[in-house]
């Protein structure tokens, strides 16, 4: 794997604090506290506490304040809105990952760089009403994630996976058990609520308190999520058998989960594509359901940018870099401190924290 070394004239450079734009005077998703941060989305590995000023898509405001505190200094932009920062022109464009997720386009003296953040490329059969779909942005240099940057990662249409989840849930209901479906509380859970809490559902849908809080941020931003009940100290003992309960992965094996009563558990993640992942996770079912681009999605996104240079960040960088090199592109890596879906599991707290006040929220 080739690691990119910042050239003096590179528009975006890797520094100890994060990805820095010298002529603009700002960082993008920095992992150390900085004065001015441009944030691609509200997941914990990209949006961290301690920055002086946060700039992000306006729909991400509620999520960022819910996660980082209501007193952060926030500035919101619409998709495609131009902003002059120092000597560069900046704009944000849909990434299709979670509510308010954005690619960052930076232009300086006729050169255009795009930082993708995390993104999901919709395919046939993908219907997601919880965030704006990914839009490719033409550029000279594209900085891309590669969370699932191996050819093995190829997603079935999400409608098909949702149908599999519904069938599993119906089987649980027929046996008089709850169906506990675990997915990360920001982004994944809202996709699950939107796709499963439908008129033809085999039973009621309930959500963990951590999911309920973020659902409210989605609704405040105008996303029409179905109304669902939060599983709290008051409602969990009354939850009817056969209900679907959507919760973060941290609840697995916790007192909160045991208090639900008899249930089957499942995990919704792109990692379920790996042989043995469900066994290692220790769940009854694993559903391959992700809000990151799969291998074909990564390649189609990169191709659509028209970029002659691609810088790969977190994930399976090596395989993607080698493949892009075979296509004749200049491909390198930035070593970053971004995580993957496993890091995002922390959105739900620990197994202990969700049994207390978080479970009752």
- Whether the pLDDT of residue 306 is over 50: the answer is yes
CA distances to 123, 224, 229, 294 from 195, rounded to whole Å, are: 16, 12, 16, 20
Distance between CA atoms of residues 246 and 41, nearest Å:
22
pLDDT of 352 = 30
Its pTM surpasses 0.75: yes
Region 295-312 average pLDDT: 98
Specify the residue for token string 């109304």.
227
Q: How many CA atoms lie within 13 A of 22 on its CB side?
A: 10
Percent of the chain with pLDDT over 70: 90
What pLDDT shows up at residue 259? 87
Kindly report, residue by residue over 43-58, the tens digit of the pLDDT: 999 999 999 999 999 9
pLDDT digit string (tens) for 127-161? 889 999 999 999 999 999 999 999 999 999 999 99
Residue 293 dihedral angles phi and psi, to the nearest 5°: -65, 140
**Position 6 confidence tier, pLDDT thresholds 50, 70, 90:** low
Cβ pair 190, 129 in contact under 8 A:
no
Q: For residue 163, what are its two tokens?
A: 């149908």
Q: Please name each of the domains of the chain with its CATH number.
A: 13-153+292-344 (3.60.15.10), 158-290+350-355 (3.40.50.10890)
Give the pLDDT score at 240.
Answer: 76
Cα–Cα nearest to 334, from 74, 142, 66, 197: 142
Condensed to tens digits (0 to 9), the pLDDT of residues 187-246 reads 999 999 999 999 999 999 999 999 999 999 999 999 999 999 998 765 544 567 889 999
Question: Does the pLDDT at position 1 exceed 70?
Answer: no
Q: In the predicted model, is pLDDT for residue 162 greater than 60?
A: yes
Percent share of the chain, pLDDT over 90: 79
Q: Which DSSP category does 284 fall into?
A: S
Lowest mean pLDDT across 3-17, 141-155, 309-323: 3-17
pLDDT at 48: 97
| Complete edge-to-edge strand list for the sheet that includes strand 74-77 | 13-15, 18-21, 26-28, 36-38, 53-57, 74-77
* Separation in Å, CA 353 to CA 30, 148, 252: 27, 30, 12
pLDDT of residue 5 exceeding 60: no
- Buried b / exposed e along 19-51 (16+ C-beta atoms within 10 A): bbbbebebbbbbbeebebbbbbbbbbbbbbeeb
Which residues, in sequence order, are bridge partners of residue 139?
A: none
- 291 contacts: CB under 8 Å, gap ≥ 6: 96, 97, 98, 118, 120, 187, 188, 191
The angle subtended at Cα 309 by Cα 307 and Cα 311, nearest 5°, is: 110
Minimum mean pLDDT range among 9-13, 59-63, 254-258: 254-258
Give the span between the Cα atoms of 258 and 241, in whole angstroms.
14
User: Contact, 96 vs 130, CB < 8 A?
Assistant: no
The pLDDT score that the predictor gives to residue 109 is 96
């Amino acid at each position: 794997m080739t690691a990119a070394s910042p050239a003096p004239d590179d528009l975006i450079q890797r520094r100890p604090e994060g990805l820095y734009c010298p002529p603009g005077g700002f960082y993008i998703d920095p992992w150390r506290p900085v004065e001015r941060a441009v944030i691609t989305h509200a997941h914990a590995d990209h949006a961290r506490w301690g920055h002086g000023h946060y700039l992000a898509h306006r729909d991400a405001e509620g999520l960022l304040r819910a996660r980082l505190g209501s007193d952060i200094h926030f500035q919101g932009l619409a998709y495609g809105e131009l902003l002059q920062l120092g000597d560069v022109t900046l704009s944000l464009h849909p990434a299709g990952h979670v509510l308010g997720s954005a690619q960052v386009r930076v232009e300086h003296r006729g050169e255009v760089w795009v930082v993708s953040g995390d993104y999901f490329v919709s395919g046939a059969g993908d219907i997601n009403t919880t965030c704006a779909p990914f839009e490719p942005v033409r550029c000279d240099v594209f900085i891309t994630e590669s969370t699932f940057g191996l050819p093995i990662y190829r997603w079935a249409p999400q409608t098909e996976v949702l149908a599999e989840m519904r069938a599993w849930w119906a089987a649980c209901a027929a046996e008089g058990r709850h169906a506990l479906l675990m997915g990360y509380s920001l982004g994944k859970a809202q996709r699950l609520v939107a796709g499963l809490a439908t008129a033809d559902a085999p039973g009621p849908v309930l959500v963990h308190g951590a999911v309920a809080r973020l659902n409210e941020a989605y609704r405040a931003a105008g996303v029409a999520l179905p109304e669902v009940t939060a599983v709290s100290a008051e409602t969990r003992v009354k939850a009817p058998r056969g209900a679907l309960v959507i919760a973060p992965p941290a609840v697995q094996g916790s007192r909160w989960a045991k208090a639900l009563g008899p249930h089957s558990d499942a995990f919704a993640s792109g990692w379920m594509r790996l042989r043995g992942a469900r066994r290692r996770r220790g769940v009854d079912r694993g559903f391959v359901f992700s809000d990151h681009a799969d291998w074909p999605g990564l390649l189609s996104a990169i191709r659509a940018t028209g970029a002659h240079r691609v810088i790969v960040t977190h994930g399976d960088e090596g395989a993607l870099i080698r493949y892009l090199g075979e296509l004749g592109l200049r491909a390198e890596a930035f070593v970053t401190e971004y995580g993957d879906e496993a890091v995002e599991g922390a959105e739900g707290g620990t197994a202990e924290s969700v049994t207390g006040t978080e479970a009752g929220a």
